[in-house]
Amino acid sequence: MTGALESLLVRRIALGGPISVATFMADALGHPDHGYYITRDPLGRTGDFTTAPEISQMFGEMVGIWLADCWLRLGAPSPFTLVELGPGRGTLMADALRATARVPGFHAALRLALVETSPALRQRQAAALHGFSPNWYDRLGDVPDGPMLLVANEFFDALPIRQFIRLPRGWGERMVGLDDSGKLTFTVAPGGVGLLDPSLYDPRIAPGAVAELCPVGIGIAGEIGARLAAHPGAALIIDYGYCGPAIGDTLQALRAHKPVPVLDGPGTADLTAHVDFTALGRAATEAGGRCHPAAGGAVNQGDLLTALGIAARATALKARATPKQAADIETALARLTAPDQMGTLFKAIALTSPGLDAPAGFAPRETP
């Protein structure tokens, strides 16, 4: 059976021609009536995917320690805005705030700002964070200016990407059109891309290769950089991704924790793409912020969490746990940090005001 959003997209394409992958992704995830995030809470075992904060409280606690440490390095500005982009169920922020409850002055100084488009998830966040009087915003641009600490976990991977296909000469843009039976299918609009990194015009790149660009993500990273140039602050961005430019089709759809075809039932499956950390860092730097590590790198999630003390936290939690709980804590620790689990696929960059040295976990000697 064709869903409501699929019918809308088919009609739009029949009338106006193929749409970009970014337009398809933006509607599939964020259509005001039928978008995936607008209509549901997709997280957890009964949903479509699980994120690091939902695996263990230790993840949000480490982020909390990072945030409080940055606040102290900044000279403890008061008030300051604590921003989370895409807070999901509010679990990360609730754990971060519990872990920082004893940092003198931190809670009194913070104004909590949640950037979230999903009404269903805003409700979950309200329940998780009711003691902190959050304000919600549709976009970062609406959050008041001033000293800022920001965190974004698995937010940038949910933003729409454009995809480009290597043709025998140059690049074309991958589009979503209709096949002979009127079903959604991928097509290519040839010619005139000009937006990709110059290295991707190397004639040795074989026809059919895919390159990706996330204009919305680059725009938000630039906005963060501009804010950090104007006011003291720091931002932590964690996601799965790579340090580009790179070749590869990373767009994927998940339903009930299983991969499904990307065009299958728009609005009913999660769509994500790997994040190009180099592109985000460059955008923030060009806007006046500073990126750690500099020069296009990123820190592995496992190394970051280890530098922040996750192993000691696991030991402390296990000391008060039943044998079953202790085994669960060990499993979660491995899941978050082991190289063959989330430890290296997930990476982080820190963006700061220009005067701030590398935050915890990002000093060159701590970077592998």
Per CB under 6 A, the list member of 13, 19, 67, 121 interacting with ligand SAM is: 121
Q: How far is CA 22 from the centre of its chain?
A: 16
Nearest distance in Å: CB 224, ligand SAM: 14
Q: What is the token pair recorded at 92?
A: 């990360």
For ligand SAM, which is the closer residue by CB, 74 or 221? 221
Nearest distance in Å: CB 334, ligand SAM: 19
Nearest distance in Å: CB 318, ligand SAM: 24
Q: Distance between CA atoms of 76 and 58, rounded to whole angstroms?
A: 24
Sign of the alpha-carbon dihedral angle for 181, 6, 258, 157: positive
Binding to ligand SAM (CB under 6 A) within 152-181 occurs at 153-155, 158
Q: Distance between CA atoms of 144 and 363, rounded to whole angstroms?
A: 30
Is 118 a binder of ligand SAM (CB under 6 A)?
Answer: yes
CA neighbor of 227 nearest in space, from 152, 290, 155, 289: 289
Nearest distance in Å: CB 256, ligand SAM: 15
The half-sphere exposure of 293 on its side-chain side, counting CA atoms within 13 A, is: 17
Per CB under 6 A, the list member of 81, 117, 301, 337 interacting with ligand SAM is: 117
Query: Could you give the residue ranges of the DSSP H alpha helices within 231-309?
Result: 277-286, 301-307
Place of tokens 């964070």: 129
Q: Distance between CA atoms of 14 and 11, rounded to whole angstroms?
A: 5
Per CB under 6 A, the list member of 116, 173, 223, 276 interacting with ligand SAM is: 116
Nearest distance in Å: CB 305, ligand SAM: 14
Asked if residue 36 lies in contact with residue 72, where contact means CB atoms within 8 angstroms, the answer is: no
User: Of 9-17, 49-57, 182-190, 326-334, which segment contacts ligand SAM by CB under 6 A?
Assistant: 49-57
Q: Distance between CA atoms of 25 and 263, rounded to whole angstroms?
A: 10
For ligand SAM, which is the closer residue by CB, 41 or 366? 41
3-state class (DSSP) for residue 77: coil
DSSP string, 323-338: HHHHHHHHHHHHHHH-
For ligand SAM, which is the closer residue by CB, 342 or 360? 342
Q: What is the token pair recorded at 206?
A: 């074989």
Per CB under 6 A, the list member of 18, 27, 37, 218 interacting with ligand SAM is: 37
Binding to ligand SAM (CB under 6 A) within 79-108 occurs at 86-88, 92
Task: Name 54's Cβ contacts closer than 8 Å, sequence gap at least 6.
Answer: 43, 44, 88, 89, 91
Q: What is the token pair recorded at 359?
A: 């935050």
Beta bridge partners of 186: 176
Nearest distance in Å: CB 37, ligand SAM: 4
Is 56 a binder of ligand SAM (CB under 6 A)?
Answer: no
Is 60 a binder of ligand SAM (CB under 6 A)?
Answer: no
Nearest distance in Å: CB 123, ligand SAM: 12
Is 265 a binder of ligand SAM (CB under 6 A)?
Answer: no
Q: Distance between CA atoms of 198 and 79, rounded to whole angstroms?
A: 43
Nearest distance in Å: CB 173, ligand SAM: 21
Nearest distance in Å: CB 228, ligand SAM: 19
Binding to ligand SAM (CB under 6 A) within 298-337 occurs at none
3-state class (DSSP) for residue 228: helix
Binding stretches for ligand SAM (CB under 6 A): 29-30, 37, 43, 51, 53-54, 86-88, 92, 115-118, 121, 153-155, 158
